[in-house]
Amino acid sequence: MPTFRVGSLYNPIRTTWPESAQYSYRAGTHELVAFYVEPSVREVKAFETGPCEFALCVRESALWLLSRFGDLPWSDHPYSWHLVPEHERDLPSADLEAGRRALCQVLLVDATTGILRAIRLVSWSPEFTRAMHAAIRAQASTPWDARAFDATIARAYDELDTVAMVREATAHCVGGAE
């Protein structure tokens, strides 16, 4: 995994990004990257030091990490283990989970410049860690069907907004700092 520094480029060969956010579990690391157009001081502070909450929503072949930092609105991040490049795929081990808190690296990137504005490492509760890892293992154990995944995502967004996904979530936690 690359080393990141606030004030440097998120990706050394790219300087603009669409405004979005993405979650990934790859190479044994949980990572949430938010791309904001010219993030305000308030948004940077929310990502750097604001309280953070997480939720997990699972529907059929898809799972979503839901997150909220400070007083910013909830955001949703669909994920599929099958979309991770094969050389970066790693399954979380159920054997190591008793009482374990997973760490999630959170990055805020200015979408107009590609510059990292905030980096934070947060821990998830042991219960949330177990739920997230079990969902990833379950997803990885099912055959990949891109059309079914896309249809699940589309149906979910037709039926739910992000706040409704949070209410439907099967696991919740407040993030801690490690």
- The answer to whether residue 15 scores a pLDDT higher than 70 is yes
> How many helices (H) does the chain have, and how many strands (E)?
4, 9
Cβ atoms of 16 and 121 closer than 8 Å = no
24's tokens: 């990934």
Q: 6-10, 26-30, 93-97: lowest mean pLDDT where?
A: 93-97
Q: Which of 37, 69, 65 is closest to 50 using CA atoms?
A: 69
147's tokens: 């059309």
Proportion of the chain above pLDDT 70, given as a percent: 96
Q: Can you tell me the distance from the alpha carbon of 156 to that of 162, in angstroms, rounded to the nearest whole number?
A: 10
pLDDT value at residue 178: 47
122's tokens: 């947060």
Q: Give the three-state DSSP class for 145.
A: coil
Tokens 């997480």 -> residue: 54
- The answer to whether residue 99 scores a pLDDT higher than 90 is no
Between strands 29-36 and 116-123, the pairing is unpaired
- The number of residues making up the chain comes to 178
- How is the chain split into domains, by residue range? 20-177
* pTM of the full structure: 0.92
Average pLDDT, the chain: 93
